[in-house]
Amino acid sequence: MNAVVDLPAQSKLPRVKTTIFAVMSALANHHGALNLSQGFPDFSCPQPLMDAATRAMQAGHNQYAPMTGIPALREQIAAKVQALYGATVDADSDITVTSGAIEALFVAIQASVRPGDEVIVFDPAYDSYEPAVELAGGRCVHLSLNAPDYRIDFNQLESAINPRTRLIILNSPHNPSGAVFSAEDLDRLESLLADSPVLLLGDEVYEHIVFDGQHHQSLLRRPALAERSFVVSSFGKTYHTTGWKVGYCIAPAGLSAEFRKVHQYVTFSVPTPFQHAIAHFMANSDFHRELPAFYQAKRDRFRAALDGSRWQLLPCAGTYFQLLGYQAIDDRPDTEMAEWLTTEVGVAAIPVSVFNADGRDERILRFCFAKGNDTLDQAAAKIASL
Ligand code: PMP
Ligand code: GLN
């Protein structure tokens, strides 16, 4: 090949491979394994939501939506965050509907990170953050969250912040660990950032999946944090519609204006009928309030089936992921263990080391329990005897 057009050799993302979610789902499908790897429900979304989408198409909502999202949906989002987090956000200037959370994360990073900027991320970190930072010309500074409770070490965070720090990416409830922020975490963050120009990007896609009577600690609860934050969420997780790819970003008007400069050239707008359907559903249901009990029952069922096995059950306070340590079962690296489980045992999972920039491998796998009870029981039965 002509060297001038040898793009792989000139890659802007030389270390990036196909995302583990695509790799493991493909492997699971190829081997007919129960797929507890990529995070998506294997059950249907609510019938009234599907009906609303069909009605929206039939009513002619099939052309471009407004670039920022349809007003009815933005108004529902504003009402929701007011009711849940006491946050007053302007539906017109502060909310942008995006193609899933992943677009919102990418756009917030492109809109805020400049060449040479540092962005603090906590490993294990969701895999889309670092490539987006690198494309913006920034550099990730990786801090660790440690098993079993994966809490932020605020002293470590304080020493990592310096004049080059532009953005801190926070994810609660946390994928893959299932850890959630406490109110004290927000207190620490507030005092740490009191006089600092640092921006925050809050990945809160599992905001409605928090267990054991706890409440989601959104950055939106604290005006002093919200004024410097892009807060991102996703209807995929809340309404069992990961394939619809509808999410949003809430940020103060000045930050949202910059966000929209990028969003308009990434996707411009998000499928119109889905926006109408979600706006209608939000206005007519309290579905999100039922989610914690629904997923907590699945978490408990999956954990109970593995109780007494050689798997180490790590705590799970939120999300639909359960971490399982296999130090007592096998010593192979987690990527090999995940592949072996998929191909030989028939259960696919995600190796956690891929979320660690330094490849740290604590022999822990992530299992998604957003699955029908039969699937969960079968998967647990297959792995419990190892
Ligand atoms: N952030 C986290 C932590 C996630 O787990 C996911 C997806 N599961 C996303 C972002 C992306 O969400 P979406 O599917 O809405 O793009
Ligand atoms: N967020 C999902 C997970 O953690 C995957 C999303 C994707 O495949 N892009 O499994």
The per-residue pLDDT for range 213-240, each reduced to its tens digit, is 999 999 999 999 999 999 999 999 999 9
Give the model's pLDDT for residue 2.
59
3-state SS, residue 210? strand
Could you tell me the pTM of the whole model? 0.97
Nearest ligand to the CA atom of 174: 1
Q: Mutate which of 96, 103, 128, 237 to test ligand 1's pocket (most atoms within 8 Å of Cβ)?
A: 237
Contact in structure between 235 and 247 (CB atoms under 8 Å): yes
Q: Which residues line ligand 1 (CB under 6 A)?
A: 39, 100-102, 126, 171, 175, 203, 205, 234, 236, 242, 247
Instruction: Write out pLDDT tens, residues 8-57.
Output: 889 999 999 999 999 999 999 999 999 999 999 999 999 999 999 999 99
Question: Is there an atom of ligand 2 within 6 Å of 38 CB?
Answer: yes
- For ligand 1, the distance from its centroid to the CA atom of residue 300, given in whole angstroms, is 23
CA distances from 69 to 14, 59, 77, 125, 346 (A): 35, 18, 11, 28, 42
Please tell me the number of the ligand nearest to residue 18's CA: 2
pLDDT at 241 exceeding the cut of 90: yes
Taking the centre of ligand 2 as the mean of its atom positions, its distance from the CA of residue 38, in whole angstroms, is 5
Mean pLDDT confidence for 142-168: 98
Which atom of ligand 2 lies closest to the CA of 175?
4
Return d(Cα 127, Cα 21) in angstroms, integer: 10
Centroid of ligand 2 to alpha carbon of 126 (angstroms) = 9
Please tell me the predicted confidence (pLDDT) of residue 281. 98
Structural domains of the chain sorted by starting position, each given as residue range(s) with its CATH number in brackets: 8-45+288-384 (3.90.1150.10), 63-284 (3.40.640.10)
Give exposure, 326-346, as e/b (b: 16+ Cβ within 10 Å).
beebeeeebbebbbebbeebb
